[in-house]
């Protein structure tokens, strides 16, 4: 069990006031807050061993390189990747997806099919549209139900030997739906398709085991797991990473350069051109260590409590509709996306911000989901392990107050 007050004390930002009210931060689906240990690690890097990595023989460069590679090993162990060179540092989930999509441009032909789901973030739609436009491949979409779940029978029907890659999120950012990725991966592999899992919303809540999942690619962002912005991870199976061409050209990703021909460095450097976000890469390891010390089983259990409680309290409000799976279905993360009849979500969000409450309003970069439900957007409350039931009470009362003001 979590000692919630001890956990909250780790996060300096949670003690501040916004608009004269104690901060209630329920926008964790957009980005997480940072514990003091992560903030300190950033400061330590710049204060004590700031230097470029992999290139210098001097002491600071060696210290920075060692710390960066220790972080790579930390993330390898966290994901249970077979090799540390299967861990590629990126700028985030979006970059990782684009890297893979760009690589598949050399592998696809007209008539091939790329499959995504109706539950995807724009970052897992647009790069595949680019790919299809470039190659003549067809984009195929796994449909969703009114419950905000993928229709697996339709997925089975859509799969064929034309399917070359399936890209789906582990957890929907807009609805909190936990997708049955084990089933999707297994079925896709039966027709010879590769599978990319967008883990941006999953990694704050659970610990993926990429070998057990048998996914070909898994991507996530550091800033959603208590780490810095501007850093993320692409895991790829060695065989696929060797098959794909480099995404960016420049320093570090080369073995030898002449004006006649360039040969590429081995993994992982083949995909890590230029000076990276060194501080971000190092401190992402610190953030992962912090969350593992708390324990992802503890995090998941506590966040499920918050989800149950928040759902129960919000259902007290007349005219309120929650989108996505029911909590009892067991396939929902700690996200509640809702609207109140006759009121635009933006108006609710604006009023409760004045009361110190941070939520996300809008389409959440998932416009196809909003189009499916024929709504302009939702109010999304996304909970983290440092939130409390008391904060949910404050939030619900604020929503009730906003409803009264806007009715």
d(CA 386, CA 15): 12
**CA–centroid distance for 367 within its chain:** 17
d(CA 243, CA 262): 17
Torsion sign across C-alpha atoms 88, 94, 95, 98: positive
Residues in the chain: 407
Name 321's Cβ contacts closer than 8 Å, sequence gap at least 6: 338, 339, 340, 341
d(CA 21, CA 113): 52
Nearest to 379 by CA among 333, 342, 347: 347
DSSP letters along 81-95, please? -S-GGGEEEESSHHH
Catalytic residue among 132, 215, 226, 365: 365
By the 10 Å C-beta count (0-12 exposed, 13-18 middle, 19+ buried), 353 is classed as middle
Q: Do 174 and 119 meet the contact criterion of CB atoms below 8 Å apart?
A: yes
Residue 365 annotated as catalytic: yes
Catalytic center residues: 365
């Amino acid at each position: 069990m979590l000692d919630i007050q001890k956990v909250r004390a780790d996060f300096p930002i949670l003690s501040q006031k916004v608009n004269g009210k104690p901060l209630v931060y329920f926008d964790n689906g957009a980005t997480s807050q940072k514990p003091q240990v992560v903030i300190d690690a950033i400061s330590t890097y710049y204060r004590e061993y700031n230097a470029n990595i992999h290139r210098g023989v001097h002491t600071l460069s060696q210290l920075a390189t060692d710390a960066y590679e220790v972080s790579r090993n930390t993330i390898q162990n966290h994901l249970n990747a077979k090799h540390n060179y299967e861990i590629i540092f990126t700028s985030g989930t979006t970059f990782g997806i684009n890297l893979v999509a760009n690589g598949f441009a050399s592998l696809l032909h007209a008539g091939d099919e790329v499959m995504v789901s109706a539950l995807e973030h724009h970052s897992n739609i647009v790069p595949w549209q680019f790919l299809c436009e470039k190659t003549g491949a067809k984009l195929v979409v796994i449909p969703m139900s009114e419950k905000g779940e993928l229709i697996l029978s339709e997925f089975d029907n859509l799969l064929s030997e034309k399917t070359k890659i399936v890209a789906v999120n582990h957890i929907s950012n807009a609805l909190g739906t936990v997708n049955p990725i084990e089933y999707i991966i297994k079925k896709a592999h039966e027709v010879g398709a590769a599978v990319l899992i967008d883990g941006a919303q999953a990694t704050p809540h659970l610990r993926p085991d990429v070998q057990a999942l048998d996914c070909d690619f898994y991507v996530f962002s550091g800033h959603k797991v208590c780490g810095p912005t501007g850093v993320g991870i692409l895991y790829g199976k060695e065989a696929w990473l060797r098959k794909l061409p480099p995404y960016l050209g420049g320093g570090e990703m080369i073995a030898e350069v002449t004006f006649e021909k360039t040969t590429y460095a081995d993994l992982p450097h083949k995909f890590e051109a230029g000076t990276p976000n060194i501080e971000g890469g190092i401190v992402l390891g610190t953030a992962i260590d912090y969350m593992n010390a708390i324990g992802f089983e503890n995090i998941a259990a506590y966040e499920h409590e918050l989800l149950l409680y928040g759902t129960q309290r919000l259902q007290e409000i007349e005219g309120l509709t929650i989108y996505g799976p029911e909590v009892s279905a067991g396939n929902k993360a700690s996200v509640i996306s809702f609207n109140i009849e006759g009121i635009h979500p933006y108006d609710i969000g604006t009023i409760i911000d004045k009361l110190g409450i941070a939520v996300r309003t809008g389409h959440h970069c998932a416009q196809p989901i909003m189009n499916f439900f024929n709504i302009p957007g939702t109010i999304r409350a996304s909970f983290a392990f440092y939130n409390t039931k008391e904060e949910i009470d404050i939030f619900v009362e604020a929503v009730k107050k906003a409803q009264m003001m806007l009715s």
